[in-house]
Amino acid sequence: MTQIVHTEGESNTSDARKAWLKQSIGPNSAPLLARDSDAFLHQSLSSPCVSTIAKADGIWIEDKDGRRFMDFHGNSVHHIGYGHPRLVQAIKDQLDDLPFAPRRFTNEPAVELAEKLAEIAPGDLSKVLFTTGGSDANEVALKIARAATGRFKTLSFWDAFHGAGMGAASVGGEATFRSHIAGPLLAGTEHVAPFHPTRCPYGHKTLEDSAMACANMLEYVLEREGDVSAVIAEAMRAVPIVPPPGFWKAIRAACDRHGALLILDEIPTGLGKTGKMFCCEHDEIVPDILTVGKALGGGILPIAACIVRPELDVCGDFAIGHYTHEKNPVTARAALTTIQIIQDEGLVDRAAELGHYALERLNNQLGDCPIVGDIRGRGLMFGIEIVTNRTDKTADVSRAETIYYASLAAGLSFKISAGSVLTLSPPLTISRDDLDRALDIVVSAIKDSLG
């Protein structure tokens, strides 16, 4: 079973959540929710769940009581929508042809996928290793950086998310994935404060000044430490926070000056979500290592990849992955077909076009709203920051939850990030009419929350 809501910063016992469960859960969903709560370990953002899923098709999910929701979250896996018929058929055909391959034996789908990733990746990124999830792909990237540089330190950003594994959580900066761990995390994982469009940790008033202060601080740490193996970062924060022009070029240059590799995590943003095949293409830079996952499996199967420059193929004498399903032909076929669908259906350009339309419409309708601190995004990953007022722009977590549950009741599911950012990330296959319907729902919920 998959959860409907992912609300970062929301307690499993918040008043808004309890009200939703009391008023909106039907008789067919309630028993399964109770069984789920009894069977699964409880954790923030997951179990207990807030509803059930019985069907998933295209942009839609449906619970066991027949309530339908447009899914504008989807854990960032549903770029091509749920159950794309071409993908389903490809998986069925692969199961009949070759269902599994032990790691030491190669197979056609795995090699084809590696070649396809090298073809679409920016610059000279061309050597690949597959994993079963994005957290593992980032762990592989960290191992390669250590092996290639002979250094062990990393530099990353507070508030970033790179996965739930111990190494990935160490370089990540979200408290949810760090604060509960007793004892030390991975050694040498240095962090700097990120830039922010409305609440700059460096005291600057504009996004551009905030970003350059952040870039300068990162270079300061690189210089002072002197032995950092890699900078690892999200190409665009999935909150979302869009880097201003010049930011990534400054970071790329700083890494080059100090002998650190640049690892870009494109696990939620890659494969067209932002209107480019990879988000870093907006910023005209090429990382040394790029990780991709989530949508790579087409919203059906789990697969991720670490893609590197050929000079970083330096780990042949020891194991850096050794995943049982490393060259699984079924997951490889799913990923290869997903990429082909994205290319054949022109979904990258579609994300750019619809994303521009959505941001323009939201700015027109909410640009003067007193509780909207910012409207931002790239392609079909955009967000609305809910604040107490437009002067100090303090996050209004309670109101954001109220807006979320009102939207859910009206048939739209999305994610709340950083406590108060309504984060909307629909499939790239969404129609203009459905996008308009979703935007109507969230705009109405925001305006209704004013009373």
Are 110 and 183 part of one and the same domain? yes
**Within-domain flag for 423:** yes
The torsion angles phi and psi of 256, rounded to 5 degrees, stand at -65, -40
Residue 2 has pLDDT above 70, yes or no: no
**Per-residue pLDDT band at 182 (split at 50, 70, 90):** low
Give the whole-angstrom CA distance, residue 186 versus residue 171: 8
pLDDT of residue 12: 59
Q: Is residue 59 part of a domain?
A: yes
> Whole-angstrom Cα distance, residue 303 to residue 134?
8
With 70 as the cut, is the pLDDT of residue 9 above it? no
Distance between CA atoms of residues 244 and 215, nearest Å: 11
Give the residue ranges of DSSP H helices in 98-206. Answer: 108-120, 134-149, 166-171
Whole-angstrom distance, CA of residue 102 vs CA of residue 45: 34
CA-closest candidate to residue 200, choices 191, 183, 188, 212? 212
DSSP letters, 212-244, are HHHHHHHHHHHHHH--EEEEEEESSBTTTBPPP
User: Which tens digit of pLDDT belongs to each residue from 188-245?
Assistant: 999 999 998 888 888 887 899 999 999 999 999 999 999 999 999 999 988 999 999 9
Average pLDDT estimate for 107-136 = 97
Give yes or no: residues 327 and 378 share one domain.
no
Answer yes or no: is pLDDT of 3 > 50. no
Which stretches within 98-151 are classed as H helix?
108-120, 134-149
When the pLDDT of each residue in the chain is averaged and rounded to a whole number, the result is 93
> 319 with 264, same domain?
yes
Using only C-alpha atoms, the chain has a radius of gyration, in whole angstroms, of: 21
Q: Per the structure, how many domains does the chain have?
A: 2
Residue 1 lies in a domain: no
- Same domain for 174 and 148: yes
Report whether 239 contacts 269 (CB < 8 A): no
Query: Does residue 311 sit in the same domain as residue 441?
Result: no
Same domain as 178, residue 327: yes
Considering the domain architecture, whether residues 91 and 225 belong to the same structural domain is answered as: yes
Question: Is pLDDT larger for residue 343 or for residue 19?
Answer: 343
Share of the chain above pLDDT 90, in %: 81
pLDDT band at 13 (very low <50, low <70, confident <90, very high): low
Q: Is residue 128 part of a domain?
A: yes
pLDDT at 16: 79
* Residue at a domain's end among 344, 373, 396: 344
Range of the domain at 61: 6-80+347-448
Tell me: do 235 and 329 sit in the same domain.
Answer: yes
pLDDT at residue 11 greater than cutoff 60: no
Asked whether residue 48 is assigned to any structural domain, the reply reads yes
- DSSP symbols for 271-326: TTTTSSSSGGGGGT---SEEEE-GGGGTTTS--EEEEE-GGG---TTS-S---TTT
Among 293, 316, 344, give the residue marking a domain's end: 344
The CATH number covering residue 48 comes to: 3.90.1150.10
User: Has residue 243 been placed in a domain?
Assistant: yes
Contact 395, 420 (CB under 8 A): yes
Strand partners for 306: 129, 291
Determine the Cα–Cα distance for residues 422 and 238; give it in Å rounded to an integer.
11
CATH assignment of the domain containing 193: 3.40.640.10
Q: Does residue 8 carry a pLDDT above 50?
A: no
* Cα separation, 256 vs 205, whole angstroms: 29
Whether residues 270 and 317 share a domain: the answer is yes
Residue 105 CB neighbour total at 10 angstroms: 9
Instruction: Among 311, 344, 377, give the residue marking a domain's end.
Output: 344
Nearest Cα to Cα of residue 251 among 216, 223, 284, 210: 216
pTM equals 0.94
318 and 354, same domain (yes or no): no
Query: Are both 63 and 100 inside the same structural domain?
Result: no
381 falls within a domain: yes
Q: How confident is the model at residue 6 (pLDDT cuts 50, 70, 90)?
A: very low
pLDDT in tens, 377-412: 999 999 999 999 988 889 999 999 999 999 999 999
Query: For residue 114, which amino acid is it?
Result: A
Section 282-289 average pLDDT: 98
Q: Is residue 310 part of a domain?
A: yes
Which residue do the tokens 């193996």 mark?
229
Are 336 and 379 members of one domain?
A: no
Compute CA distances 227 → 224, 231, 254, whole Å.
Answer: 9, 11, 13
